[in-house]
Amino acid sequence: MLLTGVALFTAVLAWQGLPAIGHALSVAGWGLAAVTAWHLLPLVIDSHAWRILYRPPRPALPRIVWARWIGESINGLLPVAQIGGDIAKARLLIKQGLAAAETGATVVVDITLAALTQMLFGMLGLVLLLILIDKPDIAWGVAVGIGVMLALLALFYRLQRGGLFGALAVLVKRIGGGRAWLDFVGGAQSLDAAISAIYARPWTAVRALGWRWIGWVAGIGEVWLGLYFLGHPVGLADAVMLEALGQAIRGAAFAIPGALGVQEGGFVLLAGLIGLNPQIGLALSLVKRVRELGLGIPGLVAWQWAEGRLLERPRRSPAATPRHS
């Protein structure tokens, strides 16, 4: 899949012409740093949403932001199918002393809430697209697609409530020759129980859901700033549509590392629908790539440093790390 992504990415660049794209990015200049800095806002908001899912006393917000930053860096830059970063951030927090089953459960529920709010955000983008391009004939197809996505998400939720991970653990243990793959979160049964405990506090889940939605909305600023510094400012409705559907396209390409090529093609198409030339759409996608590298590479370095510290800790001191800070 990585080779497929690289090939798509290269093909889109060649198709649109490297000189034009390079000129657009040179126009953005220091605006690339502004876009990168802006992303810290949704990063903190999403971290707050995740933190809410813990029972009091909750971990300190900086610790959660640190773990999410590392998780985003892994998911964005490594071929881990958009899930490896979530496993890594849970493992880091557990190794630092946070409750294993609870931490694993908060990650699973946070992923579920992220998927739900992303679908709702994508629906907003589709509605705006229908208004902006005035083609109601595609509404039925859009409605069917949304219905299928929501049905799959509802099924995933019901499976979580019904002991999904306990059943999966039994299957995987048989396939894997007896290896307990979920031991790092305290075992599958403990994980299922912790997930149920979170859903048993519906107001907690609703609060986290609301903050997740706010995080998606905050991401609109990244597109608006990107196009502003590229010399093609757009209105709020256009920026919402581009961010919402751009994220939906990226999410659909989870099997390709970083959605390489797919994200670029998506922005080329979406930009054309609102009157921007394809080179600007591609340049906007590359602005997002610069942001991913600007935050992601230091995140990968921080991950390796943290893993090294965790490996050294047992040799230095057998003392346990406190559960929450």
Cα separations (Å) of 109 from 34, 35, 82, 118, 195?
31, 29, 15, 14, 7
Query: Is the pTM higher than 0.75?
Result: yes
Polymer length of the chain: 325
Residue 219 tokens, joined: 């991401």
Measured CA distances, 35 to 66, 110, 223, 226 (Å): 19, 25, 8, 6
Q: How many CA atoms lie within 13 A of 271 on its CB side?
A: 22
50 pLDDT above the threshold of 90: yes
Three-state DSSP state, 105: helix
Q: Tell me the three-class secondary structure of 303-315, residue by residue.
A: HHHHHHHHHHHHH
pLDDT for the residue 129: 83
pLDDT of residue 23 exceeding 60, the answer is no
Q: 242 pLDDT band (50/70/90 cuts)?
A: very high
Going by pLDDT thresholds of 50, 70 and 90, the confidence category of residue 56 is very high
Quote the CA–CA distance of 37 and 44 in Å, as a whole number: 12
pLDDT band at 19 (very low <50, low <70, confident <90, very high): low
Backbone angles phi, psi at 58, to 5 degrees: -80, 155
Q: What secondary structure letter does DSSP report for 259?
A: G
Domain chopping of the chain, boundaries: 1-39+221-309, 40-218
Does the pLDDT of residue 2 top 70, yes or no?
Answer: no
Tens of pLDDT, residue by residue over 66-109, are: 999 999 999 888 877 677 888 889 889 998 899 988 998 898 88
